[in-house]
Amino acid sequence: MVEQNLLPPALPNAVGVDIGGTKIAAGVVDQHGEILAQTRRETPASHPSAIADAVADAVAELRRTHPFGPVGVAAAGFVDATRRNVVFAPNLAWRDEPLADHLEARIDARVVVENDANAAAWAEYRFGGGLDEHGNAVDDLVMLTLGTGLGGGIVTGGVLQRGANGAAAELGHVRAVPGGRACGCGNSGCWEQYVAGNALVRDARDLLRSGDDEGKVLLDAVGGDPENVTGPVITRLAQAGDPGCARLIADVGRWLGEAVASFVAMLDPEVVVIGGGVSSAGDLLLGPARISLAENLPGRTHRKPPPLRTARKGNDAGIIGAADLARV
């Protein structure tokens, strides 16, 4: 395991690339965690070579205006201990994918691959929700990213935990419900199937297909077709006061609180940071999550739950963390 308890030295700007299930976001990042330039591409999720081509194209665009050193890639999958290969990706067509090799063949730069949630956790630890009121990083942090799936990242004693094989902190694939919903990882009942964007959309579509009046506003908003439902639409309507959409987000929040209670029992972090697209729901999500965490925390009558904070770096955390870790 490579320890990250020392802050990276001041090196040239680095590029961070965040490859998710639907989009590729890339940016030039300075040593203070500031993004100087940014671009995006759609993710051709079923074609590994096309993903590499899209990343290379985005990096080439950035290079035309900003010089940089290494390239850090935040990949939505299991990354091996060499930080070069994606062993498995539940939501992308990567199986034993030598991603760094393929990218270095297309990009004239050193490439480092990180798990996307690890990268986001590192960004929040260094520059965001992991900073205390004096601007100092806490020692122990857990990050959960609620995007298409559920990612996790752990910093303990200032060290990013990768594990013996590089696959630590896959918190979304801890099994929560025996015999529960089938998961892309090959198991069933994983937290990801209850605490993520896919879970929110699936529950919303089930509501609309049931014909329940609670889904009327959402059904009208998507033109009467449940397949048109997306997380941002649900969040927008909930924030506008629709009780049906607010209930859908609250349900995910309650599952989130239960998940956090389990992870706190294992890791006892000083702070838990919640990121990813679903976190844009704010207190509609985190309010129920905090209540559920307090109700399910082991030893709750004798300890306080850690604060749940929204990620300060938002959707840019993967870019920032990948770039910062590429310097090490």
- Same domain? For 107 and 206 the reply is no
Is residue 306 a part of any domain in this protein?
yes
Helix 283-296 to helix 243-267 angle (10° resolution) is 40
CA distance 186 to 118: 22
Contact 257, 176 (CB under 8 A): no
Pairing mode of beta strands 35-42, 141-146:
unpaired
CA distance 164 to 159: 14
What's phi and psi for 164, nearest 5 deg?
A: -65, -35
- Same domain? For 28 and 111 the reply is yes
pLDDT value, residue 2: 44
User: CA neighbours within 13 Å on the CB side: how many for 316?
Assistant: 18
Is residue 2 a part of any domain in this protein?
no
CA distance 313 to 294: 26
pLDDT value, residue 68: 92
- Same domain? For 245 and 284 the reply is yes
Residues 6+ apart with CB under 8 A from 78: 86, 87, 88, 89, 115, 166, 167, 170
- Same domain? For 24 and 59 the reply is yes
- Same domain? For 320 and 262 the reply is no
Is residue 171 a part of any domain in this protein?
yes
Residues 6+ apart with CB under 8 A from 260: 142, 144, 272, 289, 293, 305, 308
- pLDDT tens series, the chain, 328 aa: 444 444 444 457 999 999 987 889 999 999 999 999 999 999 987 789 999 999 999 999 999 999 999 999 999 888 999 999 999 987 788 999 999 999 999 999 999 999 988 999 999 999 999 998 888 899 999 999 998 889 899 999 999 999 998 889 999 999 999 999 999 889 999 999 999 999 999 999 999 999 999 999 999 999 999 999 999 999 999 999 999 999 999 999 999 999 999 999 999 999 999 998 899 999 999 999 999 999 999 999 999 999 999 999 988 999 999 999 999 7
- Same domain? For 307 and 231 the reply is yes
Is residue 210 a part of any domain in this protein?
yes
Reported residue count of the chain is 328
- Same domain? For 59 and 117 the reply is yes
- Same domain? For 262 and 306 the reply is yes
- Same domain? For 290 and 244 the reply is yes
- Same domain? For 88 and 187 the reply is no
Is residue 71 a part of any domain in this protein?
yes
- Same domain? For 208 and 253 the reply is yes
For 93, 108, 188, 203, 318, the CA distances from 179, given in Å and listed in that order, are: 25, 47, 6, 18, 32
CA distance 144 to 120: 9
CA distance 230 to 203: 11
The Cβ of residue 49 has, within 10 Å, a number of other Cβ atoms equal to 12
Domain that holds residue 152: 138-311
pLDDT value, residue 3: 47
Is residue 190 a part of any domain in this protein?
yes
Is residue 7 a part of any domain in this protein?
no
CB burial class (10 A; 0-12, 13-18, 19+) of residue 15? buried
The Cβ of residue 65 has, within 10 Å, a number of other Cβ atoms equal to 9
CATH of the domain at 235: 3.30.420.40
Supply the pTM of this predicted model. 0.86
Contact 100, 85 (CB under 8 A): yes
Number of domains in the chain: 2
Is residue 3 a part of any domain in this protein?
no
- Same domain? For 305 and 184 the reply is yes
